[in-house]
Structure 1
Amino acid sequence: MKKAEMGRFSISPDEDSSSYSSNSDFNYSYPTKQAALKSHYADVDPENQNFLLESNVGKKKYETDFHPGTTSFGMSVFNLSNAIVGSGILGLSYAMANTGIALFIILLTFVSIFSLYSVHLLLKTANEGGSLLYEQLGHKAFGMVGKLTASGSITMQNIGAMSSYLFIVKYELPLVIQALMNIEDTNGLWYLNGDYLVLLVSLVLILPLSLLRNLGYLGYTSGLSLLCMMFFLIVVIFKKFQIPCPAEIAFLVNETVNGSLAQPAAFVGFNRTESDSCQPRYFIFNSQTVYAVPILTFSFVCHPAILPIYEELKGRSRRRMMNVSKISFFAMFLMYLLAALFGYLTFYEHVESELLHTYSSVMETDILLLIVRLAVLMAVTLTVPVVIFPIRSSITHLLCASKEFSWWRHSVITVSILVFTNLLVIFVPNIRDIFGFIGASAAAMLIFILPSAFYIKLVKKESMKSVQKIGAMFFLLSGIVVMTGSMALIVLDWVHNAPGGGH
């Protein structure tokens, strides 16, 4: 589940929930979430908030106290790690299966380094630009166009996150119900249809929670989401040593007489050929390889959460925040690498675009996988309302900033967001397409293009011929290449390949 998608943050019990801006339509007792959502209320100019106090003019800008931070270094690392990890982890094995181990590690390394570099640009721009609000930096740099671009990219990323969460409900909830009810024949049963279940969960659980004016206990889904992903990783590693090679399963099925061995659903009809042999491949290029970089960029987007976490950091300084970022990115690099590697080494080229669903092909009644599914389903279901809040807040601010709160408007916007997201989940055939499109567009904007563009525009003390500005310019150009190239290749894949059968 994701994060920058909204940012899932831990709880600081000593924070006064009333400290949140009165302009919001909800209050928080979770400071980092509070700060994260402040970026969607960028109507208050930082100059009017005394971000740079006159008494501190002689100090470096990043040493200026806007709010004294209350979050410790360790908790900030946890918050940022939580903001990074998300539903994208479920697609990493699929990326590795279509790039090979060596190429995947190269791409993972570059994307993580580039993401960390963009954090450096963003922090420096915030210090020089005098704002800890992402949209406000866009406004300072490029006026209303910059503000709308930043807000639109964050909103698009959040909608992608919501869609990926609901895709997990669509994929996994039917399997959980089937296992709990011990149903073998699923034909014609509406309550095992993923499309119906997504609509039902959205209507019965997500909509009532999303209509609340404050998040309340939903802040606890922060830690729950990260714990679920860690549990998922442990199970992926454990199952590697328990599940036989798919090719060997297919061979045994074909050789078994009188059906004495149960035939796994996903591997029906496979022959034991060279292509199905259980040998890892290190470099792979095929039509699905184009999704690797977008899936990775989608998995590393946390940039809307960087400035709020920076604002809440105790003893705030740019160097201290960069140390938080380095530790968090390295931890997530290892977690992503392990999840992708062991998932790939379990199923090889038979990995589906959502890894957890792949296990149902061979272990439909496994109790450990059932527990993982239940935990992930609970986490994503409770996280969707958290993600809706900043989207609704941003839309409300852009369209009705000067108007009083209205339950009618609040409800219409909430329902509209949910309806749009449900239509995406029902009619887009594959979660891979969500990862790919959002990763190539909004994620590329948030990682590559916007931080470098803001840096070039707002950091005045460095000339355009300086190493720093030249580096930012190359970073901007590389982001444009990544975005346009990935989008073009993905669209070509959509045109030349018929939509998959669902996974």
Structure 2
Amino acid sequence: MELQKMGEEMGTERLNGTIPDSDKAAVLEDGYEEEERMMAEKEEFLPHIASKKLSQFTDFEGKTSFGMSVFNLSNAIMGSGILGLAYAMSNTGIVLFVVLLISIALLSSYSIHLLLKCAGVVGIRAYEQLGFRAFGHSGKVIAAVIISMHNIGAMSSYLFIVKSELPLVIQTFLGLNENTNEWYMNGNVLIIIVSVCVILPLAMMKHLGYLGYTSGLSLTCMCFFLVSVIYKKFQIPCPLNETHHESSWVYDNGHNITTEEGVCTPAVLTVNSKTAYAIPILAFAFVCHPEVLPIYTELKRASKHRMQNVANVSILAMFVMYLLTAIFGYLTFYGTVEAEMLHTYVKGDRLMLCVRLAVLLAVILTVPVVLFPIRRAIQQLLFHKKDFSWLRHVIIAICLLIIVNLLVIFVPNIKDIFGFIGATSAPSLIFILPSIFYIRIVPNEKESLLSRSKIQAACFAALGFVFMVMSLSFIIADWVTTGKSSLGGH
């Protein structure tokens, strides 16, 4: 009875809100442990972030696996530039090409390291918001504009490939005459159909992680391209007797006739007037930085170390693919390889037609991945404090695709325009912005301005300015030369 009475008294005290001191201590201890556990989970998710800041950069927990993230980032790295790597090697030589490719891959990995370190310090995983933390609203606007310019240029270049290559593939497979005026031979019509039927549905996905499967398919197509290039190296004789017919090699019964000595000897080191053009091509081969932070946001069990591993695996995979493509493409045609390697193969080759189709599919599936950072930049600029809206999400995607399609259809010299944009945006995204963000965002108390890390970042930014000036100089010189030749031609 005594025990029963004591139990009833304790129950009454709990109901009245008065808890004995011993119970209070237990409750406080349990609450403290629970709070510590929650803080530890948040620290593991993103280091050095207060709980109230967590909702500022994401409203969901990342669900994209490591493998899918690698597929997406690899797909973002790989562009149509892979078709020009053999040409770049022919103008640099094997040794210089390998040295440049290794250097650019390491520099790109270091640049991503700077971005992730900035994100870890301030708890922000959006390129535009890093710009805001570094330089205020002007930094945010500059980052968003550069990302949009660069990715619109990339999307336009991909759709230009579709516009020029898809009619040729259809014509060859159907055995049609070149002068056929059917609607399905019109490149402008084809890019609209591809944009509406393939790109737009993929661009409507809410999260970038969902595109991991299409990115995997895109990379599979490029692997088929690489295997075919390697196979053709052992099937095509060295084209010493060269005759061009519609950008294709013609052989005498499949056998070459040697008319010039030394043509089939690989160059170890080459320096000529076109060598300087190869350096920007290689420098921009690993541009993926606008996609890094969105992929980081959606990564499962996200941490700086885990995302850096995603970047390193992606860069290594693309490095191997780039190197093999360049070596086997170059050793097939040597100094006679064209700027777009597929044009060097015989036009009627069925295998290479399948390769063209695979490259077209890979390019088409890359466009939605490139579109996501532009839409994110627009949302960060104009709708940062607003909740997610499906209507706004879809309208931005439709508007971007309309703009890109109009550019590809109506601007005849879009290659020069976006060559200029690429020469300014790519060095900014790879070298300049990550470096200056790092210098501004990382507190001086943690790393002084004279620390080795910040001095390295400053040198990295200076290297970016050198690349920018060099690339712009080449483009302007090419414009002047082309202008003179055009005047002479007319």
TM-score in same-fold range (> 0.5) = yes
C-alpha RMSD of the superposition: 3.7
- The structure 2 residue matched to 1:417, chosen from 404, 413, 418, is 404
Equivalent-residue separation in structure 2 for 1:410 and 1:335 (angstroms): 31
Q: TM-score, normalised by structure 2?
A: 0.76
| Greater mean deviation of Cα atoms: 91-100 or 109-118 | 91-100
Give the 3-state SS of the residue equivalent to 2:240 in structure 1: helix
Q: What is the 5 A alignment of 1:286-297? A: 286-297=272-283
- Asked whether 1:198 is paired with 2:191, we answer no
Distance 1:357 1:203 in 2: 24
- Summarize the Cα distance change of 1:413–1:319 in structure 2 as closer, same or farther, 3 Å threshold: closer
| CA contact 2:109–2:312 (8 Å) conserved in 1 | yes
Distance 1:80 1:393, change over 3 A: closer
Tell me, yes or no, if structure 1 residue 372 matches structure 2 residue 355.
yes
Asked if 1:486 is matched to 2:471, the reply is yes
Q: Say if 2:204 is the partner of 1:214.
A: yes
Corresponding residue to 2:457 among 457, 472, 477? 472
Unaligned residue ranges in structure 2 (runs of 5+) = 1-36, 55-59
Q: Give the drift of 1:300.
A: 0.3
| Aligned counterpart in structure 1 of residue 121 of structure 2, from 128, 136, 139 | 128
Kindly provide the CA deviation profile for residues 347-382 of structure 1, in whole angstroms up to 9, marking residues without a partner as x. 2222222222322xx2x2222212222222233334
Alignment CA distance shift 1:76-1:350 (3 Å): same
Distance 1:289 1:179 in 2: 35
The equivalent residue for 1:11 is: none
2:298 corresponds to which letter in structure 1?
Answer: E
Question: Identity, % of aligned pairs?
Answer: 51
Deviations 1:245-275 (A, max 9, x none): 222354xx9xxxxxxxxx7854589996658
1:140 aligns with 2:126: no
SS at match of 2:273: coil
Whether contact under 8 Å (2:291, 2:370) holds in the other structure is no
> In the superposition, relative to structure 1, how do residues 98 and 203 fare at CA in structure 2: closer, same or farther (>3 Å)?
same
- 1:174 aligns to 2:197 (yes or no): no
Deviation digits for residues 406-452 of structure 1 (CA, Å, limit 9, x no counterpart): 7888755542332123345x434x6xx68854553222111101100
Post-superposition Cα deviations, 1:118-139, rounded to whole Å, max 9, x if no partner, equal 0111111111122011110011
The CA distance in 1 between the partners of 2:437 and 2:285, in whole Å, is 23
Deviation at 1:281, TM superposition (A): 1.2
Equivalent residue letter for 1:478: L
CA distance in 2, matches of 1:142, 1:157: 21
Deviations 1:138-167 (A, max 9, x none): 111112221122112221221222122123
Contact 2:163 2:187 in 1 (8 A): yes
Q: Which amino acid aligns with 1:418?
A: N
Distance in 2 of aligned mates of 1:381 and 1:132? 27
Taking structure 1 as the reference length, what is the TM-score of the superposition? 0.74
CA distance in 2, matches of 1:401, 1:62: 23
| 1:412 to 1:158, Cα distance in 2 relative to 1, 3 A | closer
Indicate if the aligned counterparts of 1:63 and 1:316 stay in contact, CA closer than 8 A: no
**Equivalent pair of 1:169/1:198 in contact (CA under 8 Å):** yes
Letter in 2 for 1:109: I
Change (3 A) 1:107 1:278: same
2:27 is aligned to none
Quick one: which of 308, 327, 338 aligns to 1:322?
308
2:433 aligned residue (450, 457, 461)? 450
Q: Give the counterpart letter for 1:202 in structure 2.
A: I
Q: Please give the residue correspondences for 1:131-280 in structure 2 after superposition, counting only pairs within 5 Å.
A: 131-183=124-176, 186=178, 188-190=179-181, 197-207=186-196, 214-215=204-205, 220-250=213-243, 266=248, 274=260, 277-280=263-266
The corresponding residue for 1:87 is: 80
Query: Residue type matched to 2:451 in 1?
Result: S
Distance verdict in 2 for CA 1:422–1:382, change over 3 Å: farther
Residue 453 of structure 1 deviates from its aligned partner by 0.8
Structure 1 stretches of 4+ with a deviation exceeding 6 A read 216-219, 268-273, 400-404, 406-410
Q: Distance in 1 between matches of 2:485 and 2:84?
A: 16
CA contact (8 A) 1:178 1:192 kept: no
Deviation at 1:393, TM superposition (A): 5.7
Larger radius of gyration: 2
Count of residues in correspondence between the two structures = 427
Cα distance in 2 for partners of 1:72, 1:399 equals 30
Could you tell me which residue of structure 2 aligns to residue 354 of structure 1? 340
Q: Secondary structure at the match of 1:247?
A: coil
Q: Is the 8 A contact 1:141 1:458 kept in 2?
A: yes
- Which residue of structure 2 aligns with residue 18 of structure 1? none
Task: Give the distance between the partners of 1:437 and 1:295, measured in 2 at CA.
Answer: 13
CA distance in 1, matches of 2:365, 2:309: 31
Measured against aligned partners, the alpha-carbon deviations of 1:186-232 in whole angstroms (never above 9, x if no partner) come to 3x444699xx7331112223146566682489764322211111111
Contact kept, 8 Å, 2:82 with 2:322, in 1: the verdict is yes
Amino acid at match of 2:360: L
- Structure 1, 474-483 or 379-388: larger mean CA deviation: 379-388
Structure 1 regions of 5+ residues with no counterpart? 1-52, 254-262
Equivalent position to 2:90, from 97, 101, 111: 97
